[in-house]
Amino acid sequence: MKTSSSSSAAVAAALPPVVSREEWLVARKALLAREKEATRQRDAISAARRRLPMVKVDTPYVFTGPYGPLTLRELFGRRHQLYVHHFMWFEEDQRHCHGCTMAADTGFNNPHLWERLAERDVTFVAISRAPWAKIQEAQAKHGWTFPWYSSHGTDFNYDYHVTLDETKAPIEFNYRNKAELLQTGFTPEMLKEDWPVNSVFLRDGDTVYHTYSASARGLDQLYLPNAFLDLTPYGRQEDWEDSPVGWPQRPTYG
């Protein structure tokens, strides 16, 4: 597709400074020191995450899937850890999330991923509040085969603050209540329907515990293209990124 001459000129002007190899090496080593510190900090956070306390799940959730109704315990199969991708569904528009769709296409619709997780005693599933028929339609359209279940008719999404609906549960997202969210720039119109969240559960026998949930930017590393884009000069090209003036930007899909 052709671009306008002004657009091409803007991109051509958006270049890092040109230096000698020696100058580049000095700058690269300085950045490497920061990268190593970030890696150590990430390792420390992961260690703290492994020590996070957990909460017993007492609600008898039942999900709909290809083999009929299954309880939360049954979603684990023989494994002891359950990773849940909350696949967002927008009831008003009767559609699944574009971002979740891209994440499936570029990442978790991959049997090799499920096998590697299974080797470490983890079962991967997606759960959506969409009716089971809508999930089947999406599977057929995209050719997806990842394990996907419907929580339609249950409080699962509301209890884990994936779906915001004050008639079902107090508003909370990313561990902030409604007042705190409004103070950070959310509007009342935004605080509805589904938001990006993933959750982790652990079982001891037939007793299930909730150990962790992450939201929004806490899920960045799970979207595979981001890992590649973060190493490129122009980055993700999102408007929130701290990039030099003139760096290209593209729409954010949600």
Long-range contact set of residues 205-208: C-beta below 8 Å, sequence gap at least 24: 206/73, 207/56, 208/56, 208/57, 208/72, 208/73, 208/76, 208/82
Contacts of 254 (CB under 8 A, 6+ apart): 97, 98, 99
What confidence score (pLDDT) does residue 175 get? 96
What confidence score (pLDDT) does residue 7 get? 46
pLDDT digits 0-9 by tens, 174-211: 999 999 999 999 999 999 999 999 999 999 999 999 99
CB 186 within 8 A of CB 176: no
> Measured between alpha carbons, how far is 219 from 200 in angstroms, rounded to an integer?
13
Residues in the chain: 254
What confidence score (pLDDT) does residue 14 get? 85
CATH topology of domain 56-222: Glutaredoxin (3.40.30)
Tell how strand 89-90 and strand 95-96 pair up.
Answer: antiparallel
Q: Where are the domains of the chain?
A: 5-48, 56-222
- Bridge partners for 149 per DSSP: 127
Contacts of 162 (CB under 8 A, 6+ apart): 86, 88, 129, 194, 195, 197
Extract the residue ranges of the chain whose pLDDT is less than 50.
1-9, 254
Per-residue b/e over 187-198, b at no fewer than 16 CB within 10 Å?
A: eeeebebbbbbb
CB 210 within 8 A of CB 54: yes
What confidence score (pLDDT) does residue 151 get? 98
> Measured between alpha carbons, how far is 237 from 249 in angstroms, rounded to an integer?
4
CB 171 within 8 A of CB 177: yes
What confidence score (pLDDT) does residue 253 get? 54
Contacts of 47 (CB under 8 A, 6+ apart): none
